[in-house]
């Protein structure tokens, strides 16, 4: 058994397709199939159930893939650590980001990182703040940019607060409040709202503000895509509360939208999060680009 065979098995387990697994591993399909079959003979068990249309893990395969993933991660870390000892950073860096990140220009950051560390393979994943924090704790992500209600930091990870922000009201330009100098939550509680999906940290910021004020509102439209939310607002279907630093540049390019300060509106923090357990050289390098010092 060798690491390449493990990589083939993990790729097939994730893609459930020999062609796609071979493409991922940059090998011809016949070679991948032959190496996996050879490994099964060596182990004396079937790792996959195969038919002309389907490929699925057997119970033995599930157990093997879990351990193989740990072995491959350890091998990648060994290579990265050896390279780091010579002053060269290699390996992988998995970065998580929320869609409303504003404290950091993520594309510019990744460009600078790549210029300084071209041998690191970087992957980017977007998602909810709670999901990204959990992925760091589980070892699936190395670092992430999160947005959370003020005063609420995730547990089990290292964090650095990057910015504090207050939400603003987003309305269509023809709305009765479009020209207001400022509003309160009670001024808008009877309106129809567009918001993020219930149960997410992005939604919790507004929900908690209304609850604290003793107010109930109607969220008629839920979405996880900001562009859809702003389109609904522009059509006059509802209004929304959104982080000021994120929405202002977008609204500046959208004459159909107007922003209004909210006196008692939600406040949020943007923070950087990373694993507190033995961060990889690639992670330390990213923290260095961000100006974060970590113990050697």
Q: Does one domain contain both 172 and 257?
A: yes
Residue 52 tokens read as: 């002309």
Total domains in the chain come to: 3
Q: Does one domain contain both 176 and 202?
A: yes
Backbone φ and ψ for 124, nearest 5 degrees, come out as: -125, 135
pLDDT mean over 94-118: 94
pLDDT in tens, 244-294: 999 999 999 999 999 999 999 999 999 999 987 778 889 999 999 998 876
pLDDT in tens, 9-34: 999 998 999 998 998 888 899 999 99
CA 104 to chain centroid, in Å, comes to: 14
The pLDDT value recorded for residue 86 is: 57
* CATH, residue 255: 3.40.190.10
C-alpha span between 34 and 113 (Å, rounded)? 39
C-alpha span between 221 and 241 (Å, rounded)? 13
Write down which residue in 85, 113, 139 finishes a domain.
85
Q: Which residue has the tokens 């072995």?
A: 71
Split at pLDDT 50, 70, 90, the class of 138 is: confident
Under 8 Å between Cβ of 171 and 258:
yes
C-alpha span between 157 and 277 (Å, rounded)? 8
Q: Does one domain contain both 197 and 233?
A: yes
Q: Does one domain contain both 71 and 136?
A: no
Split at pLDDT 50, 70, 90, the class of 48 is: very high
Range of the domain at 205: 166-266
The pLDDT value recorded for residue 80 is: 65
C-alpha span between 232 and 257 (Å, rounded)? 11
- Domain membership flag for residue 260: yes
DSSP bridge partners of 239 = 193
Under 8 Å between Cβ of 211 and 291:
no
pLDDT mean over 24-52: 90
pTM: 0.71
- Domain membership flag for residue 296: no
pLDDT mean over 102-130: 93
Q: Does one domain contain both 243 and 285?
A: no
Q: Does one domain contain both 256 and 173?
A: yes
Asked whether residue 152 carries a pLDDT value surpassing 90, the answer given is no
What string of DSSP letters covers 134-191?
HHHHHTS-SEEEEEEETT-PPSSSEEEEEEEEEEEEEEETTSTTTT-S-B-HHHHTTS
């Amino acid at each position: 058994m060798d690491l390449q065979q493990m990589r083939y098995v993990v790729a097939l387990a994730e893609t459930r397709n020999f062609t796609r697994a071979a493409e991922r591993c940059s090998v011809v399909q016949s070679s991948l199939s032959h190496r996996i079959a050879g490994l099964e003979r060596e182990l004396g068990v079937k790792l996959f159930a195969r038919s002309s249309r389907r490929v699925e893990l057997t119970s033995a395969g599930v157990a093997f893939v879990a351990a193989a993933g740990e072995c491959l991660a350890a091998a990648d870390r060994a290579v990265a650590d050896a390279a780091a000892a010579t002053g060269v950073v290699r390996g992988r860096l998995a970065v998580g980001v929320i869609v409303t990140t504003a404290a950091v220009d993520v594309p510019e950051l990744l460009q600078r990182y790549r210029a300084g560390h071209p041998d690191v393979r970087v992957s980017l994943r977007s998602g909810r703040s709670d999901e990204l924090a959990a992925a760091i704790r589980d070892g699936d992500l190395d670092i992430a940019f999160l947005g959370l209600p003020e005063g609420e930091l995730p547990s089990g990870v290292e964090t650095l607060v990057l910015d504090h922000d207050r939400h603003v009201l987003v309305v269509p330009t023809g709305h009765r409040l479009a020209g207001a100098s400022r509003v309160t939550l009670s001024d808008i509680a009877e309106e129809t709202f567009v918001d993020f999906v219930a149960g997410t940290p992005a939604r919790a910021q507004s929900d908690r503000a209304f609850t604290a004020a003793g107010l109930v509102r109607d969220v008629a439209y839920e979405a996880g895509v900001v562009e859809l939310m702003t389109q609904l607002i522009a059509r006059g279907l509802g209004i929304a509360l959104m982080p000021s630093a994120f929405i202002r540049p977008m609204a500046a390019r959208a004459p159909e939208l107007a922003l209004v300060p909210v006196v008692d509106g939600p406040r949020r923090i943007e923070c950087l999060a990373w694993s507190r357990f033995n961060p990889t050289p690639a992670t330390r390098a990213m923290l260095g680009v961000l100006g974060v010092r970590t113990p050697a």
